Copies of this chain bind each other. A is one copy, B any other.
Amino acid sequence: MMKNITGGVCAPQGFTAAGVKAGIKKSGKEDVTIIFSEVPAAAAAMFTTNAMAAAPVLVSRQAVENGWLRAAVVNSGCANASTGEQGLADAKTMATVAAEALGVEFNDVLVASTGIIGVNLPMDKVTAGIKKASTALSKDGHSKAIKGIMTTDTFTKECAFEFDLDGTKARIAGIAKGAGMIHPNMATMLCFITTDAAISPAVLKAALQECVDVSFHMITVDGDTSTNDMISVMASGQATNKVIDSTKTSVYKEFVAALKEVCIYLAKQVVQDGEGATKFLEIQVKGAASFQDAKKAAMSVAKSPLVKTAFFGQDPNWGRILCAVGYSGAEVDQNKTTLALGGITIVKDGVDAKPDIHALQEVMKERDINVEIQLGQGTAQATVWTCDFSYEYVKINADYST
């Protein structure tokens, strides 16, 4: 059983955090964050697959390689992406400065950046900010830490739970920043998860992959994948459970259930805050020949600008939804395809089910809408979350950067 608790990423035993104002953001808000583990934490992370990966991603991939971390250091306001050799040197300097200030090794530090791309980091400000944050670490630091990773996010995305693990109590928590595409340049999705569960690095890595596959990999705002995306988890091991060292155990399943809840909660929050979003859409594809087919079909619907603008217009335009399923590459048969919006069947076996129009209009007025597509091909299913495309989306993203 998962119980909501306070304390954010500092709720799990062994973690402190801080967020400080370093002057990188023009707004003057918090822009440097450190999340610190008092002991070596088993760690795993997943990074953008974009071939234009930013400098901090390159540095962090190396840092997490051995499965252990002590800290994550993050700046907002500048993504340190498309910055060439200088950018790489700057990302390394961030890790070095943080390691010295915290009394840990260079390779113990995960580095992340978010904000404008193509611009070099103002390293004097970044360095001073890291030093300041390292002296400000505390159990209360979580609320400022979350501010230090935000860019265009309109609300904070945070959760913390206590859960049963192998008969004892453990804690898990996370913060994330949005995939809303960021003025003036581009998207970054960052997520930092802490837990005091005792777990081996290899098993933690498997658990993270398993949970991200059904959470962050199942959301889309506009289909663009950022150069800076990163999701990490650090496990301090200070809960009293016996170290989880196999994926075949029931305790592993307990841990995965908790981690999944954190990942799905934060992933959905990211979509809720999609730029200009007026609708939150849950696209469920059932009866697929395989999970991959179900995901393909659901993602195709979720990414279609035609579908997204129709939901913005509160238009139950089922033709566009079937069309997107049709070109998804999933195995489908139009004569077996059924579609329901908000529980109202509007297409049955590929043709108009002549639903009650008044009831359907009521569904389309809701903020949260469930889209259920039954393919009739097998038993696999997948759920994807997305938002609509509004005037506001175009407005935000058409703004001048220069």
The closest CB in chain B to the CB of A330 belongs to: B51
Known contacts A326-B52, A351-B83; A222 and B305 CB within 8 A of each other? yes
In this assembly, does A318 line the interface, its C-beta being within 8 Å of a C-beta of chain B? yes
Interface residue range, chain A:
35 or more
Query: A-side binding surface: helix, strand, loop or mixed?
Result: loop
Interface flags for A387-402 (1: CB within 8 Å of B; 0: not) read: 0011101110111111
A51 interface neighbour in B50, B223, B334, B351, Cβ under 8 Å? B334
Interface flags for A239-261 (1: CB within 8 Å of B; 0: not) read: 00000000000000000000000
B309 touches A394 (CB 8 A): yes
A52 interface neighbour in B312, B317, B325, Cβ under 8 Å? B325
In this assembly, does A128 line the interface, its C-beta being within 8 Å of a C-beta of chain B? no
A224 interface neighbour in B320, B333, B357, Cβ under 8 Å? B320
A82 touches B391 (CB 8 A): no
Contacts of A350 in B (CB 8 A): 52, 82, 84
A327 interface neighbour in B51, B312, B325, Cβ under 8 Å? B51
B315 touches A400 (CB 8 A): yes
Contacts of A184 in B (CB 8 A): 315, 317
Known contacts A305-B389, A351-B84; A323 and B225 CB within 8 A of each other? yes
A186 touches B320 (CB 8 A): yes
A317 interface neighbour in B325, B351, B390, B401, Cβ under 8 Å? B401
A50 touches B327 (CB 8 A): yes
A334 interface neighbour in B52, B317, B361, Cβ under 8 Å? B52
Within 8 A of B (CB), among A8-63: 49-53
The closest CB in chain B to the CB of A361 belongs to: B402
Using a CB–CB distance below 8 Å, which chain A residues touch chain B?
49-53, 81-84, 116-119, 181, 184-187, 222-227, 303-306, 309-310, 312-320, 322-327, 330, 332-335, 337, 347, 349-352, 357, 360-361, 389-391, 393-395, 397-402
Q: Top 4 nearest A-B pairs by Cβ distance?
A: A313-B398, A52-B326, A309-B397, A117-B319
